[in-house]
Structure 1
């Protein structure tokens, strides 16, 4: 048997070297996995992958473009971060949550108020409330057998269970892929007794479903936020938060909210029903002329028709106490300027009104962009371009932005106040009238767009099932 002398110092050094090697190797391995942040990886591929709920007002194909409030936010994120965004539309929110969980997308937008702690969340970009939607003149007793539908299986699950404690015989149904409009249709035809819905979704569809009412069930209001995987390192989240804050601080968020939801702010049940009847009975007589003259003057015929409805309810022989007359309520001066001889002739009136509106749009200062440009022109059609300019001047003097409608519409009513006369060129005007006027036309225009969608092939958004295999890492630095 042989014995070997063991040098303690040498052994200690060898042991130290071995430990050092293990530590360094382990560190390198770990660094190999954590070296790049989520944002680094996004920059490498030059793309942020987003899943978003496909729904009107959020992300929705309109003609040859995708429209919606969240679509606008994504455009701002893309612009401010300088990174291309690939957006995949989702109707089944189960799929959206799963795509985020497995790392198939970098972030997800439901457009619903989601208090769940399963995901990291951005700063809030919108505030709404959760409630039940049911038909008018219906009431529920505690023991009634009821069927309730929900839109979001995660955000609405707990409130649905709380509602069930109030109505023990309540059956809760969730059918993947249902749009908010579909759920409201089911309530309207009696297939569902009620649905859980955010107030924002309700208002976007309200004019189509005048027999439905919204009743909030939670207080305080809920925030709407962008969702991120719970294990992400926060580098993308931080940049998105900075963008949201920038949009809010600049006032752009308020403009976007007005653009996409301003028409839904006021709703007149009786007027809405009257409009629908007139759309069926009166509009067909004049539609061809609206289309003809709108095309000649680079206008949307549905907007032109909405203006005519506000002016005369599509009555060719309408006459106001001030002497304006016809379907477009043309003044004598405008008729002379436009070269028409009979203001009560609907074709001549629509011809003159379309040219006059187009001229007003062209006269709006070039720094004012759409859709505000159109709202300014409509206000001028009602109260005169000079008074609109006076309101813009007041807006600027008081620190507002004279180039956005949401600021100027606050100043228009001040044209009726003597204290503001020194600031104006054209003096007194009933400035509240153009505010109501533009608001009404925006509602009629939205109704017209739904009733008469533009012809031609519509663009189709990329669907979630078109995603490649999940490639976006869900663990920090993986």
Structure 2
């Protein structure tokens, strides 16, 4: 044989095998690098993986776990964005804003929800999207004590924040307490516990947590700030899509509707928060075990059931309305009869019937409706009847809207009789539910606890 001699068959096979496995190794390394470092080209990585990874600090103004999903302003906004991109949404919590920043910088998340003003110096190494919210930074103080003027007081701020620098320069006589890895809860606790005279917290964060801090009140505005999503410095392509999306939802009213639904209104004004705290201490202990027992029977969060009871009667077992509904869960005669209740004034029977009735409605909501929309639609039907909610879903679908999302269905529900009352009812129950989550920390979520959960939508 002329030319190069042929390799023995075994050597040829070994050579092919080595090259094959080397090729697979290269492919694996390239894929792993692409997957583990998505911020090199995050939009392509999101499309390739089919997943949008978001990290943020859990709370009533961002997202909270609910069933196998989550709820909250940011959750619904990000869910819409993921739908637009045609990918799954995966949310992971972090204990504080600094942790969120580090995860985005390391490429462990595509978008970070820090809750910090977009001009905060700690965000200098990240890019900010167009704002999703404009809020006022406020000084918060105790309402039941004399407090020094801010220029000579103890003021708690987040460490290395824009407010810390501004207050140090503008109020040199003040004692600026810089709290490391501060959450809104940690800053408010400084004032609540007497370790500071004031705390700087944005208005939205304070209002959402006021039920847990009834002795605090807003004292004075500091400045107006913009809140935005945070992305990696090199992530221009995803930023462009995020900005276009935020511009669109602002233009079509989605942002405004979300902010309204997840806002606090006047529920926890000075009188409202005082009454809620009194009832939390004086009435809830009488019925807590009953709420827990009936909720457990239906694999339901007892605080949601308790929130319904509070909206119905303020946990007053003897409540009677002018229209004849009665008891802690304010049952009509017909509903009580259907649920097998002989005495509507019996709180245990009332709670049992309320839980049963809620579950009866929930089971008749189509399976395509997922959380948290399922809870909102069930609550609306609990208040005004299932037929109205199903009709609103039909109207939404006919108009080209999503019949499985509460934000769309609620718009069409407004066209029906008694809709205003039902829409307020859903919002109020949600607010009380959030308040119970914050004020019963030994029984579940509390933002500053640093608990972690993952949501896949």
Normalising by structure 2, we get a TM-score of 0.71
SS in 2 for 1:217: strand
Structure 1 residues 61 and 38: CA distance shift in structure 2, 3 A: same
- Spell out, residue by residue over 1:270-312, the C-alpha distance to the aligned partner (whole angstroms, 9 max, x if none): 2332232223332233333322322333432222222222222
Q: From the superposition, tell whether residues 62 and 157 of structure 1 become closer, same or farther in structure 2 (CA, over 3 Å).
A: farther
The match for 1:446 is 434
- The answer as to 2:40 corresponding to 1:38 is yes
Identify if the C-alpha distance between structure 1 residues 179 and 455 changes in structure 2 by more than 3 Å, giving closer, same or farther.
same
Q: 1:223 aligns with which of 207, 221, 226?
A: 226
Aligned to 2:139: 132
Q: Give 1:186's aligned residue.
A: 190
Report 1:153-192 matches (<5 A): 153-161=160-168, 165=170, 167-192=171-196
- In our comparison, the structure showing a higher alpha carbon Rg is 1
Q: Structure 1 residues 49, 157: CA separation in 2 closer, same or farther (over 3 Å shift)?
A: farther
**Which of 91, 95, 117 is the aligned partner of 2:96?**
91
Take 2:294 and 2:110, find their aligned partners in 1: how far apart are those partners?
47
Counterpart in 2 of 1:293? 294
In the TM superposition, residue 86 of structure 1 has moved relative to its aligned partner by: 8.6
1:151 to 154, 158, 167: 158
User: Is the contact made by 1:66 and 1:461 (CA closer than 8 Å) also made in structure 2?
Assistant: no
Q: Displacement, 1:195?
A: 1.6
Q: By how many angstroms is 1:258 displaced? A: 5.9
Question: Which of the residues 197, 200, 203 maps onto 2:201?
Answer: 197
1:305 counterpart residue number: 306
1:114 to 2:118 alignment? yes
1:319-362 per-position Cα deviation (integer Å, ceiling 9, x unaligned): 22222222222222122222232222222222222211212222
- When residues 55 and 285 of structure 1 are mapped into structure 2, their CA distance, relative to the original with a 3 A threshold, is closer
What is the CA-CA distance between 1:251 and the residue it aligns to? 6.9
* C-alpha displacement of 1:363: 2.9
Residues 92-118 of structure 1: per-residue CA shift (max 9 Å, x gap) = 63x665776788876644212222583
Contact kept, 8 Å, 2:67 with 2:371, in 1: the verdict is no
- The equivalent residue for 2:375 is 374
SS at match of 1:370: coil
Q: Classify the secondary structure of the residue corresponding to 1:319.
A: coil
For residues 286-365 of structure 1, the aligned pairs below 5 Å read 286-365=287-366
Report the Cα distance in structure 2 between the residues aligned to 1:143 and 1:365, rounded to whole angstroms: 55
Q: What is the CA–CA distance in structure 1 between the aligned matches of 2:59 and 2:420, rounded to whole Å?
A: 33
TM-fit CA distance, 1:144: 5.4
1:72-91 matches, within 5 Å, as: 80=85, 82=87, 89-91=94-96
Deviation at 1:53, TM superposition (A): 4.5
Q: Is the 8 A contact 1:299 1:358 kept in 2?
A: no
Distance verdict in 2 for CA 1:396–1:152, change over 3 Å: farther
CA distance in 1, matches of 2:281, 2:433: 15
Number of the residue aligned with 1:214: 218
Structure 2 counterpart of 1:241 = 243
Give distance in 1, aligned partners of 2:342 and 2:399. 44
Corresponding residue for residue 425 of structure 2: 437
- The question of whether the paired residues in 2 share the 8 Å contact of 1:63 and 1:459 is answered with no
TM-score of the aligned structures, taking structure 1 as reference length: 0.68
**Please, which runs of 5 or more residues in structure 2 have no aligned partner?**
1-37
Residue number in structure 2 paired with 1:461 = 452
How has the CA–CA distance of structure 1 residues 285 and 319 changed in structure 2, closer, same or farther, with 3 Å as cutoff?
same
For the residues of structure 1 that align with 2:181 and 2:353, how far apart are their CA atoms?
A: 47
- Distance across 2 between alignment mates of 1:67 and 1:410: 19
Check conservation: 2:159, 2:181, Cα contact below 8 A: no
Secondary structure of 1:127's partner?
strand
| Distance change >3 Å, CA 169–CA 379, structure 1 → 2 | same
Tell me how far 1:184 sits from its aligned partner: 0.6
Q: Distance in 2 between matches of 1:448 and 1:143?
A: 32
- SS of structure 1 residue aligned to 2:319: coil
**3-state SS of 1:148 partner:** strand
Are the equivalent residues in 2 in contact too, given 1:66–1:459 (CA < 8 A)?
A: no
Q: Is the 8 A contact 1:135 1:211 kept in 2?
A: yes
Change in CA separation of 1:367 and 1:257 when aligned onto 2, cut-off 3 Å = farther
Please give the root-mean-square deviation of Cα atoms over the aligned residues, in Å: 4.4
Distance 1:250 1:183 in 2: 35
Query: Contact 2:94–2:450 at 8 Å: present in 1 too?
Result: no
Secondary structure at the residue paired with 1:327? coil
Q: Quickly say closer, same or farther: Cα 1:265–1:238, change in 2 above 3 A.
A: farther
Q: 1:66 to 1:319 in 2, by over 3 A?
A: closer
CA distance in 1, matches of 2:160, 2:197: 18
Aligned pair count reads 408
